[in-house]
Structure 1
Amino acid sequence: MAREIEIEEVETRRVPGRFGRLFALVSWPSFLVAAVAETVFFSLINPRELYLLGEPVHFSPLATYTIGFFGFWCV
Protein backbone atom coordinates (compact mmCIF):
# COMPACT_ATOMS: atom_id res chain seq x y z
CA MET A 1 0.00 0.00 0.00
CA ALA A 2 2.79 2.40 -0.87
CA ARG A 3 1.62 5.75 -2.04
CA GLU A 4 3.41 7.63 -4.78
CA ILE A 5 4.07 11.28 -4.16
CA GLU A 6 4.38 13.55 -7.14
CA ILE A 7 7.08 16.16 -6.85
CA GLU A 8 6.74 19.21 -9.03
CA GLU A 9 10.02 20.77 -10.18
CA VAL A 10 10.15 24.51 -9.70
CA GLU A 11 12.54 26.83 -11.52
CA THR A 12 14.62 28.55 -8.81
CA ARG A 13 17.16 30.34 -10.99
CA ARG A 14 16.73 34.09 -10.96
CA VAL A 15 17.16 35.91 -14.22
CA PRO A 16 18.41 39.48 -13.73
CA GLY A 17 16.25 42.22 -15.10
CA ARG A 18 17.28 44.90 -17.54
CA PHE A 19 18.70 47.17 -14.83
CA GLY A 20 20.69 44.34 -13.25
CA ARG A 21 22.27 43.37 -16.56
CA LEU A 22 23.07 46.98 -17.40
CA PHE A 23 24.61 47.49 -13.96
CA ALA A 24 26.81 44.41 -14.40
CA LEU A 25 27.82 45.42 -17.91
CA VAL A 26 28.95 48.85 -16.68
CA SER A 27 30.35 48.13 -13.23
CA TRP A 28 32.60 45.13 -14.00
CA PRO A 29 34.63 46.74 -16.83
CA SER A 30 34.87 50.00 -14.89
CA PHE A 31 36.16 48.04 -11.87
CA LEU A 32 38.91 46.51 -14.01
CA VAL A 33 39.84 49.86 -15.57
CA ALA A 34 39.97 51.47 -12.11
CA ALA A 35 42.33 48.73 -10.92
CA VAL A 36 44.66 49.34 -13.88
CA ALA A 37 44.46 53.13 -13.48
CA GLU A 38 45.27 52.93 -9.78
CA THR A 39 48.19 50.60 -10.44
CA VAL A 40 49.65 52.96 -13.04
CA PHE A 41 48.99 56.10 -10.97
CA PHE A 42 50.48 54.79 -7.73
CA SER A 43 53.43 53.18 -9.46
CA LEU A 44 54.43 56.69 -10.56
CA ILE A 45 53.38 58.64 -7.43
CA ASN A 46 54.18 57.85 -3.81
CA PRO A 47 51.01 58.17 -1.66
CA ARG A 48 53.03 59.86 1.12
CA GLU A 49 53.97 62.69 -1.27
CA LEU A 50 50.41 63.62 -2.33
CA TYR A 51 49.07 67.09 -1.72
CA LEU A 52 45.42 68.11 -1.61
CA LEU A 53 44.65 71.84 -1.93
CA GLY A 54 48.25 72.72 -1.04
CA GLU A 55 48.32 70.62 2.14
CA PRO A 56 49.96 67.19 2.46
CA VAL A 57 47.54 64.27 2.73
CA HIS A 58 47.67 62.79 6.25
CA PHE A 59 46.03 59.45 5.47
CA SER A 60 47.82 56.13 5.74
CA PRO A 61 49.04 54.67 2.43
CA LEU A 62 46.32 51.99 2.56
CA ALA A 63 43.61 54.61 3.02
CA THR A 64 45.10 56.64 0.17
CA TYR A 65 45.08 53.59 -2.11
CA THR A 66 41.47 52.83 -1.16
CA ILE A 67 40.24 56.38 -1.71
CA GLY A 68 42.16 56.51 -4.98
CA PHE A 69 40.63 53.26 -6.20
CA PHE A 70 37.08 54.37 -5.47
CA GLY A 71 37.84 57.73 -7.08
CA PHE A 72 39.06 56.05 -10.25
CA TRP A 73 36.07 53.69 -10.17
CA CYS A 74 33.63 56.61 -9.96
CA VAL A 75 35.30 58.28 -12.94
Structure 2
Amino acid sequence: MACTSADLALLIWHKSSYSNGSEGLCLEVATGLPGTVPVRDSKAPDGPALLVNATAWAPFIAAVAAGDLTL
Protein backbone atom coordinates (compact mmCIF):
# COMPACT_ATOMS: atom_id res chain seq x y z
CA MET A 1 0.00 0.00 0.00
CA ALA A 2 1.42 3.38 -0.96
CA CYS A 3 0.83 6.27 1.43
CA THR A 4 1.85 9.86 1.07
CA SER A 5 2.75 12.19 3.91
CA ALA A 6 -0.54 13.98 3.20
CA ASP A 7 -2.43 10.71 3.74
CA LEU A 8 -0.66 10.15 7.06
CA ALA A 9 -1.32 13.72 8.20
CA LEU A 10 -5.07 13.06 7.94
CA LEU A 11 -4.97 10.09 10.30
CA ILE A 12 -5.81 10.18 13.99
CA TRP A 13 -2.60 9.49 15.93
CA HIS A 14 -2.51 8.03 19.45
CA LYS A 15 0.50 8.21 21.77
CA SER A 16 1.46 4.88 23.27
CA SER A 17 0.95 4.44 27.00
CA TYR A 18 4.50 3.04 27.01
CA SER A 19 5.90 6.34 25.72
CA ASN A 20 7.72 8.63 28.07
CA GLY A 21 9.40 11.97 27.65
CA SER A 22 12.32 11.45 30.00
CA GLU A 23 14.02 8.67 28.04
CA GLY A 24 13.02 9.78 24.57
CA LEU A 25 10.77 6.79 23.96
CA CYS A 26 7.87 8.45 22.15
CA LEU A 27 5.76 6.25 19.93
CA GLU A 28 2.48 7.00 18.20
CA VAL A 29 0.21 4.74 16.19
CA ALA A 30 -2.64 5.76 13.92
CA THR A 31 -6.02 4.38 13.00
CA GLY A 32 -7.80 4.72 9.70
CA LEU A 33 -5.84 2.50 7.31
CA PRO A 34 -7.55 -0.91 7.17
CA GLY A 35 -5.07 -3.76 7.60
CA THR A 36 -2.18 -1.38 8.31
CA VAL A 37 -0.83 0.17 11.50
CA PRO A 38 1.19 3.34 10.90
CA VAL A 39 3.84 3.94 13.59
CA ARG A 40 5.93 7.08 14.07
CA ASP A 41 8.15 8.91 16.53
CA SER A 42 5.93 11.47 18.25
CA LYS A 43 8.90 13.82 18.59
CA ALA A 44 9.07 13.98 14.78
CA PRO A 45 5.45 13.99 13.55
CA ASP A 46 6.47 15.28 10.13
CA GLY A 47 9.10 12.57 9.78
CA PRO A 48 8.67 9.10 8.30
CA ALA A 49 6.19 6.54 9.52
CA LEU A 50 6.63 2.79 9.52
CA LEU A 51 3.64 0.96 8.02
CA VAL A 52 3.13 -2.40 9.73
CA ASN A 53 0.73 -5.10 8.57
CA ALA A 54 -2.01 -5.46 11.19
CA THR A 55 -1.54 -9.24 11.37
CA ALA A 56 2.09 -8.67 12.37
CA TRP A 57 1.21 -5.87 14.81
CA ALA A 58 -1.16 -7.97 16.94
CA PRO A 59 1.43 -10.53 18.16
CA PHE A 60 3.93 -7.72 18.77
CA ILE A 61 1.45 -5.92 21.04
CA ALA A 62 0.64 -9.20 22.82
CA ALA A 63 4.36 -9.76 23.51
CA VAL A 64 4.74 -6.22 24.87
CA ALA A 65 1.70 -6.63 27.12
CA ALA A 66 3.03 -9.96 28.40
CA GLY A 67 6.41 -8.42 29.22
CA ASP A 68 8.20 -10.69 26.77
CA LEU A 69 10.10 -7.79 25.19
CA THR A 70 12.61 -5.59 26.94
CA LEU A 71 14.52 -2.49 25.95
- Could you tell me the TM-score, scaled by structure 1's length? 0.29
Question: Higher strand fraction: Structure 1 or Structure 2?
Answer: 2
Question: Higher helix fraction: Structure 1 or Structure 2?
Answer: 1
Larger Rg: 1
Higher RCO structure (Cα 8 Å, ≥6 apart): 1
